[in-house]
Structures are given as C-alpha cells and as structure tokens.
Amino acid sequence: MTKKSKSAQEYKIGEFARKAGVPVSTVNYYVKQGLIQPQATTPSGYRIFSEDGLRTVSTIRELQTEYLPLDEIKKQLRQKGRLRGRLPQMSLPFEEFELAPVTFRFPSTRYQGSKLKLVEWIWQNIKHLRFETALDAFGGTGCVAYMLKTKNKEVTYNDILRFNHYIGLALIENDKETLSSDDLRLLLTKHKGVKYPTFIYDAFHDIYFTDEENSWLDMVVRNIQFLKNRYKQALAYYALFQACIIKRPYNLFHRKNLYIRTAEVKRSFGNKITWDTPFAVHFVRFVEESNESVFSNGRKARALNLDVFDMDGQYDLVYIDTPYISSKGVGVDYLEFYHFLEGIVNYDKWSTLINHKVKHKSLEHEKSLWTDKNRIHDAFDRLFHKFRDSILVVSYRSDGVPTDSELMRLLRKYKRDVVELNRKDYKYVLSNNGSEELLFVAA
C-alpha cells in the first residue's frame, strides 16, 4: 500500500481540532459558517478533514487576532482563495456532537442545566397540543422559549435572574436588531477620553481570570453602555456571558480556581486551548452566533424579569423547568454558579452585593425556595395552582426532590390528564449519577 503524502493527510474531527489548535466546537462552528468544509464523510457518518482545511483554520486564527467580525473574515478568505462553496449541514454521530440538532439557529452554550439538546424531544411530546400562547416560566438559556418561537407561538420568557433576562431580551423578545461591524469596533476599542472603571480588575485578582482579562472585561462592560439600543446591549451582554463561561474550568464561578488554567501540569479534563484563546476572539464568535439567531415569527414575544409568583396573565401552555434538588437534598443554586454574570449586569452596585466572607466573592443572597427541600413541595403546589388553567409541561429529573410520583400526585390535584415521559439516554454535564430526564404533560 502506498503511503499518503503529507498533502493528502486526512483527519477525523478530533485529530483535526488538535492539529489546528482549536476545540472541536470551534471546528463545528467554522463548518456551520461555511468557513471550512470536510472533504469527505465516511459511511458511518464521520467527517474527514484535510491539510488544506488546517491551512484555512490557521488563516482564520491570524485574522481573528485583529478581532475582525465574521463577514470581514469571509471577505478576506475569499480574496485569498480559501473560501469556496458551502456544503449543506450534515448530521453527526453522537461522539462528535457538541451543538444542538440543527432544527433552529440557537447559539451554542455551556450553561449548566440547559435543555438545548432536549428541545426537539420536548417538542415531539407536546406538538399535538392545541396552544397559541406559551410561557417559559424559568427561562434560563432561553432554548425552550426559542424553540416555541420557531413554531410560531406567541412566547413569553421569564427568569428571576437579571443576567438571564438579558438572554431573553436578546434571543426571544428581540426580533430584528443585530450587532454590526461598527458596533463591534465600538465594543472592542479602548476609547480616548473615557475613564474606564477598574472594579473587576481590583476585586477579582487571581480568582477567575488573569489581570489582563479582568481589565478587558471592565472595558467592554463600560463600552456596552455606549450602545443606545436595549436589544443591542442585550446581544453584547449575551456574547460576554458566553465568553466568560467558556473560559472557566467547569464553566462555573463556584470556586476560586484560576490556578487550574494557569498551572503548567498535565490535565485529565478541560481544554487549555479554549481557556487561553483571547476573550475578544470568543466574544466575536458569540456575537456572530447570536446575530444569526435573531428572527421574527410575526408575533410579539416578551422577556420578563419576575418572581414567577408575581406574574400576571393567562397562557395556553406553561413550561416549567425549575432548579433541581437531588435525592440528597442538595439544590442547584444558579445564582451561586453564575453570580459573576449577575454582577456584570449590576456593575455599578456590584461592590455592595458581594459576600466578602467567601474567597470566590459570590453575591449575598437568600436561599431560594426552589433549592430548599423543606419548601419545595409547597412551592410546586402553589405553582401548579397558579397556572391550573393552562396546559402544564414540567421538566425534572428522576432522582430529585420531589420524586416523580410526588410530582404526579401534585399535578393530579389540578389536572385529570397527566402523562409522564422518560428520556433514559440523556446525561447532564458534571453529573455522575444515573438520573433520567422526566417530562410531565398535564392537559
């Protein structure tokens, strides 16, 4: 057998990503954007990439050091003869799969607890129901609200966390605004005559990001205020949130652990390439992804920032995905996990909100009833009662508090027709137990 020359070398996506010095998710993103193409697909569905693709990625990375937006990078690649026709999106085997099924253009996310990989399963189990208006009561990443928006429903997104509210504004309520190249230049430039604050640089030294990165964050947070359109601001915040998350070990802010990124040791987890990629490069990528996600379905969508029990209005369907409490009674406290993002959108008063008793400088806050095993049953009962005139669709996990049988009993107090569905083949990131994803549909 003749040995292939270097120019004819072929790589599966994992090896290609390692050779290119980028994460697999970035390769997937470049393919999705038509910047690179696999030269072939194996019978089992694996994409094969070439040395020519590596050279194109190298060119893209060089251009990204100038923090150019995607449309400008495409233009320059075309001029260099490195951009050809775009192949249609191909389905991927699970081993390569990092993005949601390509049923809509929702941005990639590493937010813990996201239902992004489950939205199609959820839709298949509710599409037979007759409803026009829908509330995503605990909106989080917004992927379920976004899916319902793609199905031409009149959608209301709600979340009690302010930073999540900006996600709802950017991706749900917003139906036309995007960030332009001029907007990006405004956001990524240190402007003469502007006195930039230094709060993140001063308060978070050696906790989450390097001093240089902290200073960059201070600059961008200030520059976001120069955007006068609230939806443009929301898109900029969204891209900033995602850039912060992707550069964090475990994608969380629950520990002071910058040393995991910076220590020169052999690692069994994480992605140092992703961590070391400049903030601005990640930011531009997430701006491009969120820009592509903006659309109008011809109906008015809303994003709210309320305690669910303070909400008014009637909805045909209410989707409920509360924080989860494990069978051991440990609740998922999203404010504790993502307090840094909540601080960003409360920048001017951030210093007054910090809990200085802990090394990672999270925010002072009372324990949510949704993370309290002693109050959770009553909370669900109140919630089901509040929306008893709506179709109720409830996501939870099989090893949680309440148990599936307890949730079923609570739902049947208000609904005669309750169906429980189990998704056995889904595993959450950072979860080591055998929990199954549950979906209750109560009509």
Q: Taking residues 327-350, what's their average pLDDT?
A: 97
Q: For residue 426, what pLDDT is reported?
A: 67
pLDDT exceeds cutoff 60 at 93? no
Which span out of 92-106, 110-124, 282-296, 351-365 was modeled with the highest average pLDDT? 351-365
pLDDT exceeds cutoff 60 at 98? no
Q: For residue 27, what pLDDT is reported?
A: 86
* Spatial distance between the Cα atoms of 204 and 197, rounded to a whole number of angstroms: 13
List of residues 6+ apart from 44 with CB closer than 8 A: 93
What are the tokens at 43? 């019978």
Lowest-confidence pick of 89-93, 176-180, 195-199, 350-354: 89-93
pLDDT over 70 percentage in the chain: 88
Task: Identify whether 101 is part of a domain.
Answer: no
Amino acid type, 288: E
Among all chains, which residue has been given the structure tokens 């490195």? Answer: 82
- How many contiguous H segments (helices) and E segments (strands) does the chain have? 19, 10
Q: Taking residues 371-395, what's their average pLDDT?
A: 98
Statement: the pTM of the whole predicted model exceeds 0.85 = no
List of residues 6+ apart from 310 with CB closer than 8 A: none
Strands (E), 83-192: 133-136, 154-158
Task: Identify whether 417 is part of a domain.
Answer: no
Digit-coded pLDDT (tens) for 220-229: 999 999 999 9
Which span out of 11-20, 65-74, 149-158 was modeled with the highest average pLDDT? 149-158
What is the domain count for the chain?
1
Q: For residue 336, what pLDDT is reported?
A: 97
The overall longest dimension of the chain from CA atoms, in Å, is 72
* Spatial distance between the Cα atoms of 121 and 403, rounded to a whole number of angstroms: 22
Q: Taking residues 414-427, what's their average pLDDT?
A: 86
Digit-coded pLDDT (tens) for 21-48: 887 778 888 887 888 989 888 876 788 9
Task: Identify whether 57 is part of a domain.
Answer: yes
Q: Give 366-428 as a 3 state SS string.
A: CCCHHHCCCCHHHHHHHHHHHCCCCEEEEEEECCECCCHHHHHHHHHCCCCCEEEEEECCCCC
pLDDT exceeds cutoff 70 at 356? yes
Amino acid type, 116: L
DSSP 337-372: HSHHHHHHTTGGGHHHHB-TTSTT--B--PPPGGG-
Q: Report residue 184's pLDDT band, with 50, 70 and 90 as the boundaries.
A: very high
> Which among 388, 242, 395 has a CA at the least distance from the CA of 323?
395
pLDDT exceeds cutoff 90 at 190? yes
> Which among 135, 130, 143, 157 has a CA at the least distance from the CA of 104?
143
Q: For residue 1, what pLDDT is reported?
A: 41
pLDDT over 90 percentage in the chain: 68
DSSP 250-276: GG--SS--HHHHHS-S--SSS-HHHHH
* Spatial distance between the Cα atoms of 69 and 432, rounded to a whole number of angstroms: 39
Task: Identify whether 263 is part of a domain.
Answer: no
Q: Provide the CA 393 distance to its chain's centre, in angstroms.
A: 22
List of residues 6+ apart from 219 with CB closer than 8 A: 190, 196
Q: Report residue 266's pLDDT band, with 50, 70 and 90 as the boundaries.
A: confident
3-state secondary structure of 128: coil
Task: Identify whether 127 is part of a domain.
Answer: no
List of residues 6+ apart from 106 with CB closer than 8 A: 100, 116, 119, 142, 143, 146, 147, 171, 293
CATH number at residue 29: 1.10.1660.10
3-state secondary structure of 301: coil
> CA dihedral in degrees (351, 336, 361, 233; nearest 10)?
-40
* Spatial distance between the Cα atoms of 264 and 259, rounded to a whole number of angstroms: 9
Q: Report residue 302's pLDDT band, with 50, 70 and 90 as the boundaries.
A: very high
Q: For residue 401, what pLDDT is reported?
A: 97
Task: Identify whether 60 is part of a domain.
Answer: yes
Task: Identify whether 49 is part of a domain.
Answer: yes
Q: For residue 390, what pLDDT is reported?
A: 98
Digit-coded pLDDT (tens) for 64-73: 766 666 677 7
Let me know: does 275 contact 245? Beta carbons within 8 Å: no
What are the tokens at 193? 């005559």
Task: Identify whether 428 is part of a domain.
Answer: no
Range of the domain at 74: 6-79
